[in-house]
Amino acid sequence: MFERRIPEWLRHAPAPSVRGFAVLAAFEAITRGILISVFPIAMYNALGDAALISSVYFAIGILSLSIALLIPFMTRYIARRWMYAIGASGFMIGAGCASFGTPEMMILALALNSLATVTTFVCFNAYVLDYIARVELGKCETLRMFYSALGWTVGPLLGVVLWGLWQPAPFVVSAISAAIMLGMFTYMRMGNGKLITRAKTPPPNPLAFIGRFFEQPRLIAGWLFAVIRSCGWWAYVVYLPIYAVQNGLSEQLGGALLSVTNAALFLSPFMLRWMQARSIKYSVRTGFISCAVLFTAASVSVIPAWLAVVLLFAASLFLILLDICAGLPFLMAVKPSERTEMSAIYSSYRDVSGIATPGIAWLVLLAVPISGIFAATGIACMIAWGIAGQLHPRLGAARLKLPA
**Percentage of the chain modeled with pLDDT above 70:** 81
The pLDDT tens digits of the residues spanning 129-167 come to 777 776 667 677 778 877 887 888 888 778 877 887 888
User: How far apart, in whole angstroms, are the C-alpha atoms of residue 284 and residue 267?
Assistant: 17
Contact 131, 194 (CB under 8 A): yes
User: How far apart, in whole angstroms, are the C-alpha atoms of residue 398 and residue 402?
Assistant: 9
Mean pLDDT of the 384-390 span:
89
Give pairs for 248-254: CB < 8 Å, separation 24+: 248/305, 249/305, 249/306, 249/309, 253/309
The pLDDT tens digits of the residues spanning 199-247 come to 444 544 445 677 777 778 888 888 899 899 989 988 887 777 778 777 8
CB atoms within 10 A of CB 48: 10
Contact 182, 88 (CB under 8 A): yes
Contact 81, 174 (CB under 8 A): no
Contact 156, 37 (CB under 8 A): yes
Mean pLDDT of the 317-336 span:
80
User: Left, alpha or beta for 49 (phi > 0: left; psi -120 to 50: alpha)?
Assistant: beta
The pLDDT tens digits of the residues spanning 173-198 come to 999 999 999 998 988 877 665 543 34
Please give the domain boundaries of the chain with CATH numbers for all domains.
16-193 (1.20.1250.20), 211-404 (1.20.1250.20)
Helix ranges restricted to H, 99-192:
103-131, 137-165, 169-188
Question: What Å distances lie between residue 233 and 221, 295, 350, 385, CA to CA?
Answer: 19, 11, 11, 17
Question: What Å distances lie between residue 384 and 153, 226, 276, 379, CA to CA?
Answer: 28, 10, 21, 9
User: How far apart, in whole angstroms, are the C-alpha atoms of residue 66 and residue 245?
Assistant: 35
**Contacting residues for 44 by C-beta, under 8 A, at least 6 apart:** 50, 53
User: pTM of this prediction?
Assistant: 0.68
Q: At 299, is the secondary structure helix, strand, or coil?
A: coil
Residue type, 24: L
The pLDDT tens digits of the residues spanning 51-91 come to 566 677 778 878 887 887 788 778 778 888 899 999 999 99
Print burial letters for 311-345: b (CB count within 10 Å at least 16), e (below 16).
Answer: bbbbbbbbbbbbbbbbbbbbbbbbeeebbbbbbbb
What confidence score (pLDDT) does residue 314 get?
93
